[in-house]
Amino acid sequence: MAKVSWKGSALLAPVPAALVTCGDMEKSNIITIGWTGIVCTRPPMTYISVRQERYSHDIILDSGEFVINLTTSAMVRQTDLCGVKSGRDIDKFAVCGFHKAPAKIVAPPLIEECPVSLECRVTESRILGTHTMFLAEIVGVDAEEKYIDSKGKLNLQQCGLAAYAHGEYFALGRKLGDFGFSVKKKKKKKPAAHK
Ligand SMILES: Cc1cc2nc3c(=O)[nH]c(=O)nc-3n(C[C@H](O)[C@H](O)[C@H](O)COP(=O)(O)O)c2cc1C
């Protein structure tokens, strides 16, 4: 297959377009973040990379806390808006019609409309170039009750999560398999009962 080779570029996709909240219940801001991910399971660790000129940058640097709120297809317009307007100029909670809910452990608010929120505490800030990477421990998780079944399992597929790939937003669609399905043994068919 013919391939075109380019110089290194930030072309990983898809990524989340997460709504990251910072500040506190009184004075808070929302910034849309694509550069995020999980970097460790135990302790649960994440990162967000934020350009130094963002209004949110110094708020997170000074407070050492933020919340990653997962976004759904239904809120993709607000997600885009929080990624093109600055909290220096507008109150993004008010403009988006989002409601604040207090987090259990950290000071920044949760976005009530988001199905899952990760409360994060910064453990290290590193200027990498255009962006500062805030490495953080996920110290708490807040999930909407209606997505948790009677066995306590969180059914994320019911939330209608959205993703971002190379400048475009997508709704997560058809399920293709479960973790480990490629090696899972097929259940033997029970022999038909003799009549
Ligand atoms: C889908 C999407 C993803 C984005 N990802 C990032 C990111 O990872 N880091 C960043 O610094 N800015 C990112 N931005 C840009 C900021 O969200 C944007 O500059 C925002 O207006 C900054 O808000 P603030 O000035 O209130 O902090 C992204 C924007 C969009 C639309």
Q: Give domain status of residue 195, yes or no.
A: no
Mean pLDDT, all residues of the chain = 96
Which CATH number fits the domain that encloses residue 134? 2.30.110.10
In the chain, what is the straight-line distance between the N-terminal and C-terminal CA atoms, in Å?
58
pLDDT at 173: 85
Residue 137 in contact with ligand 1 by CB distance below 6 A? no
Q: What are phi and psi of 56, to 5 degrees?
A: -70, -25
Contacts of 112 (CB under 8 A, 6+ apart): 98, 99, 100, 101
Which ligand 1 atom sits nearest the alpha carbon of residue 80?
A: 31
Q: Give domain status of residue 11, yes or no.
A: no
Site to probe by mutation for ligand 1, drawn from 32, 50, 77, 133 as the one with most ligand atoms within 8 Å of Cβ, is: 32
Q: Give domain status of residue 121, yes or no.
A: yes
Q: Give domain status of residue 193, yes or no.
A: no
Contacts of 127 (CB under 8 A, 6+ apart): 52
Range of the domain at 108: 18-171
Quote the CA–CA distance of 105 and 19 in Å, as a whole number. Answer: 18
Which ligand 1 atom sits nearest the alpha carbon of residue 48?
A: 8
- pLDDT band at 84, cuts 50/70/90? very high
Q: Give domain status of residue 147, yes or no.
A: yes
pLDDT at 140: 98
Higher pLDDT among residues 157 and 30, named by residue: 30
Q: How many domains is the chain built from?
A: 1
3-state secondary structure of 96: helix
pLDDT at 187: 76
pLDDT at 154: 95
pLDDT reading at 40 higher than 70: yes
Residue 83 in contact with ligand 1 by CB distance below 6 A? yes
Residue 24 in contact with ligand 1 by CB distance below 6 A? no
3-state secondary structure of 65: strand
Give the rounded percent of residues in the chain with a pLDDT score beyond 90.
93
Quote the CA–CA distance of 49 and 170 in Å, as a whole number. Answer: 22
How far, in Å, is the centroid of ligand 1 from the Cα of 55? 10
pLDDT at 90: 98
Site to probe by mutation for ligand 1, drawn from 33, 71, 77 as the one with most ligand atoms within 8 Å of Cβ, is: 33
Q: Give domain status of residue 10, yes or no.
A: no
pLDDT at 152: 94
pTM here is: 0.95
Give the rounded percent of residues in the chain with a pLDDT score beyond 70.
98
Quote the CA–CA distance of 19 and 4 in Å, as a whole number. Answer: 34
Per residue in 44-77, pLDDT (tens digit) is 999 999 999 999 999 999 999 999 999 999 999 9
pLDDT at 49: 98
pLDDT at 195: 61
Per residue in 113-147, pLDDT (tens digit) is 999 999 999 999 999 999 999 999 999 999 999 99
How far, in Å, is the centroid of ligand 1 from the Cα of 110? 18
Q: Give domain status of residue 167, yes or no.
A: yes
Q: Give domain status of residue 182, yes or no.
A: no
Which residue has its alpha carbon closest to ligand 1 atom 31? 83
